[in-house]
Structures are given as C-alpha cells and as structure tokens.
Amino acid sequence: MFTHIMVGANDITAMVAFYDAVLAPLGLRRTTDVDATDTGTISPAGVIWQYPGQRWPQFALRHPVNGEPATAGNGVQIAFRCPSRKAVRRAWETALNRGGSDEGAPGDRPIYSDDFHAAYVRDPEGNKLCFLHCHAFSESAP
C-alpha cells in the first residue's frame, strides 16, 4: 500500500481549487494552508490532503523539484477510494464542473470484478484519476 502520492502541478492555485472540490466528497481534506498570492513558498512536502485524524495516506501536489514543467504520466492513473457509488458520481461530476475532462462515466466495470464501480477523469493538467467504490470498502475504514 502507498503512503502518499505526489503530483506535479504548473498552476498551483487552480489545481488546489480543483482538488479541494473533487476530494471533499471522498472525505479528504486539505491540511496545508496556501496563500493564493504566494504559491511559490509551498513547503517541500507540497500541498497535502488527508483523511481527518489520519497521517497516512496522503495526496499531495507541488511544482516539480527539478524546476521543469509538470507533465501527466503516460499510463499513470491515480485511483481514489470512494465510500459509495453516490460519492463516485459526485466526485466525477465535480471534476467535470471544475475543469476536468471525462474519461469514463460512473458505472460498473465487471471486467475488473463484480463489485467494481468507477468513473474516470483527467484533471486540468492531464493527470488521469479514477474514483472507485467496491462493496469491500464499506467493511473497513478509509
């Protein structure tokens, strides 16, 4: 299992607004303050979202450390655990309303498993996201 995922971002202000809205239906909250007028001073750890009261896992974004422009990875997908099918739809719709692009509407994907319900988008900078709910998720905490 992963501890954190770091995504490169070119427009920190726009990406923070996107992820604040999209991750809220999943129960993830931003734990890093960002001053919209001074996004160049973000800590090396980046801007971080977490489940309340939990240190791990974390989702984070920042300008690339090497100073080059951020680019989406070919073949890379970040999948977020959703507490319900409704949360899958809500996160997908929010992403589309906040500048994301559709990569697959919410629905069952029995090719993966009988209880695999997912939706797919690309964030405003091209990173592919999956919002996923499986019945097994309701049996344990996030």
Domain boundaries, given as residue ranges, for the chain: 4-64+76-139
Q: Say yes or no to pLDDT of 85 above 50.
A: yes
Output the pLDDT for position 55. 92
Q: In the sheet where 58-62 sits, what is the strand order? A: 4-8, 58-62, 47-50, 29-30
DSSP single-letter state for residue 91: H
Which residue type does 76 have?
A: V
Q: Are 51 and 28 in contact (CB under 8 A)?
A: yes
Is the model's pLDDT at 98 over the cut of 60? yes
Average pLDDT rounded to a whole number, residues 98-125: 96
CA distance 46 to 8: 9
- The pLDDT of residue 135: 81
Please tell me the predicted confidence (pLDDT) of residue 20.
96
Assigned fold of 4-64+76-139 = 2,3-Dihydroxybiphenyl 1,2-Dioxygenase; domain 1 (3.10.180)
User: Other C-beta atoms within 10 Å of 51: how many?
Assistant: 17
- What pLDDT score does 41 carry? 61
Q: How confident is the model at residue 91 (pLDDT cuts 50, 70, 90)?
A: very high
Q: How confident is the model at residue 1 (pLDDT cuts 50, 70, 90)?
A: low
Peptide bond into 44 cis (omega under 30): no
Residue 132 pairs in a beta bridge with: 81, 118
- Phi, psi torsion values for 28, nearest 5 degrees: -90, 140
How confident is the model over 118-131, as pLDDT tens digits? Answer: 999 999 999 999 99
User: For position 38, what pLDDT does the model report?
Assistant: 54
| pLDDT tens-digit series, residues 23-50 | 999 999 999 887 655 555 677 788 999 9
pLDDT at 141: 46
